[in-house]
Amino acid sequence: PSRKVQLHLISLLENHGGLKLSKTSFLDNEKLSPSWYLRTFVAIFFFLSDSSQCLHARQEVFSVGNDTTATTLEWAITELVKNPKVMQKATAEVRQAFEACGTVAEHALGKLPYMHLVIRETLRLHTPVPLLLPRQCQEPCQVLGYDVPRGTHVLVNVWALAHDERYWHDPPDEFRPERFEGEAAVVDFRGTDFSFLPFGAGRRMCPGIGFGLANIELALASLLFHFDWEGPPPGEIDMAEEFGLTVRRKADLLLRPVLRVPSQ
């Protein structure tokens, strides 16, 4: 990263020093709201020194965290526009949950079970990071009868696992949030179910899982609460993917927001 970008990131972080940061907030599990994550995240960086390694770490967390979160959100909206019934159900749920207070409130995000299914299905169908961080085999072993020598580089294709018909019986290429209410209800994405690893697994697993999910939930709920979304007919939406560290939409998603509930 250029020095200019680094300086910008630092000033961004340090300007948040005005937030009330306390060490106890790290340990207080009852405050797991998006703003708690933001405070904790900023606090962690605040305590880091300015060595070049720390600058690199800050830059890495910003880029890894932003890209994956934005990619997931963009695919979620794409699938909702492409599947009007799902859009209708998710929008109705969000509007009902926040009708009384007129805005999306962090503390009530737990009242949106269907939207959580939508996010889960988006992470499965459009696995944002298709290949996990490279691993290296520390000692010789055998996998499925194959000899794997020490030092072998291993790339885990979690996209393929999330689309494998042996584990996903409803057609795996269809967007069906309801699958997570049925036989896939017990499948978890926190690194223990190998058919669904959008955040990886083991010691290199994504450390931003809570922060990332909180950001997606808050943004998606707000987009659905305040706006109706008009776009091309479902069958004409361009679903082409662009392969990189994350798999993003190749074409821009052009939609028209129609304001339904103005911010209060």
Q: Does 130 bind ligand HEM (CB under 6 A)?
A: no
Residue 206 marked in a binding site: yes
Residue 137 vs 201, nearer CB to ligand HEM: 201
Compute CA distances 82 → 90, 181, 234, 256, whole Å. Answer: 13, 21, 4, 14
210 binds ligand HEM (CB under 6 A): no
Q: Does 1 bind ligand HEM (CB under 6 A)?
A: no
12 CB neighbour count, 10 Å cutoff = 13
Binding of ligand HEM by 128 (CB under 6 A): yes
Enter the tokens of residue 263: 């911010």
Residue 133 binds ligand HEM (CB under 6 A): yes
Minimum CB–partner distance for residue 261 and ligand HEM (Å): 26
Considering beta carbons, is residue 63 or 229 the nearer one to ligand HEM? 63
Task: Single out the segment in contact with ligand HEM by CB under 6 A; choices: 6-14, 110-118, 195-203, 256-264.
Answer: 195-203
**Residue 128 CB, nearest distance to ligand HEM (Å)?**
4
212 in contact with ligand HEM (CB under 6 A): yes
Amino acid letter for position 122: T
Which strand (E) or helix (H) includes residue 242? Answer: strand 241-242
Q: DSSP letters of 24-38?
A: GGGT-GGG-SHHHHH
> Whose Cβ is closer to ligand HEM: residue 177's or residue 198's?
198
Please give the biggest Cα pair distance in the chain.
63
CA distance 244 to 218: 26
Task: Give the three-state DSSP class for 23.
Answer: helix
Residue 184 or 220 having the CB closest to ligand HEM: 220
Quick one: 36 or 211, whose CB is closer to ligand HEM?
A: 211
Q: Is 177 in the site for ligand HEM (CB under 6 A)?
A: no
Q: Which of residues 65-124 bind ligand HEM (CB under 6 A)?
A: 65, 68-69, 72
CB-wise, 99 or 164, nearer to ligand HEM? 164
Three-class secondary structure assignment of 129-142: CCECCCEECCCCEE
Is position 132 an interface residue for ligand HEM (rule: CB under 6 A)?
A: yes
Least Å distance, CB 230 to ligand HEM, is 26
Q: How far is residue 31's CA from residue 37's CA, in Å, rounded to a whole number?
A: 9
Q: Beta-strand (E) ranges in 41-140?
A: 135-136
Cα 49 off chain centre by = 28
Q: How far is the CB of 247 from ligand HEM (least distance, A)?
A: 11
CB of 28 to ligand HEM, least distance (A): 19
The half-sphere exposure of 32 on its side-chain side, counting CA atoms within 13 A, is: 12
- Give me the residue label for tokens 């899982």: 209
Report the binding-site residues for heme.
Answer: 206
Which residues contact ligand HEM by CB under 6 A? Answer: 41, 60-61, 64-65, 68-69, 72, 128-129, 132-133, 198-202, 204-208, 211-212
